[in-house]
A = this chain, B = another copy of it.
Amino acid sequence: MDEGTIEDALAARVRSAVSDGRLPPGTKLPEELLAEQWSVNRARIRTVLQRLSFEDLVELKRNRGAFIATPGIKEARDVFEARRVIERVTTEIVTRTILTPQLNALKARLDDRERTFLHGNRQQAIASISAFHRSLAALAHNESLAQALERLILRSALILGLYGTADTFARASAHYGTLLDEIERGESIVAARTMERCLFTLEKGLDLRPDAPRDVDLARVIGQVA
């Protein structure tokens, strides 16, 4: 068996589903259902859930099961403060070290983002914003920072899905163009501040009323290949 990476694949599948809102907060993830949907043993599901709970993406309640986490307000504040701290620096590093092809790749991603935006799908917007920040951070070439940020980005996706309003993204969106321009011009300090402001905008745009819990066809969502 070439397994050993199969757990990674399954965890990634859940992450992706959370990222784009197919699995809203509070959704229960029964072991047996996942097991049969993915045709693996329950023990392996257990491992996956364990890992996801370590990432604070799912909450493991003893004898109750696994649920997609539901971050509270205070947690939301913390997460965005932490992101500002980390992304300020990564932005600075990236501005000083980025090469042209990488910059162009970022620009392309930004275009994607704006296209998605016009399309109006909120969950896609969240996923797209996440991807942009991820890509930017990766260019700082620091595994520790990237790893710490990855968790925060995932939590943010949950938070934005829960509390994000339609124009939360619209307002934040305005910053991205500016950011890339400043990066291109090598103005590292200014770019870092723009990134910070962008994250501030996202945070300020949060609406504290949670969505009404949606019903989810779990089997379908889980069963999807990607």
Contact = CB atoms under 8 A, between A and B. Distances in A.
Interface residues of A, number: 23
A66 interface: no
29 contacts: A4-B62, A47-B50, A50-B50, A50-B51, A51-B54, A54-B54, A54-B55, A75-B143, A75-B144, A78-B142, A78-B143, A78-B144, A78-B145, A79-B144, A81-B142, A81-B144, A81-B145, A82-B142, A82-B144, A82-B145, A82-B148, A85-B85, A85-B86, A85-B89, A85-B145, A86-B86, A86-B148, A144-B155, A148-B148
A202 to B, nearest CB: 15
A189 to B, nearest CB: 15
A160 interface: no
A156 to B, nearest CB: 10
A151 interface: yes
A79 to B, nearest CB: 5
A23 interface: no
A143 B152 CA distance: 11
Given A82-B142, A85-B86, 9 more contacts: A4-B62, A50-B51, A54-B54, A78-B142, A81-B144, A82-B145, A85-B85, A148-B151, A148-B152
Interface in A13-43: none
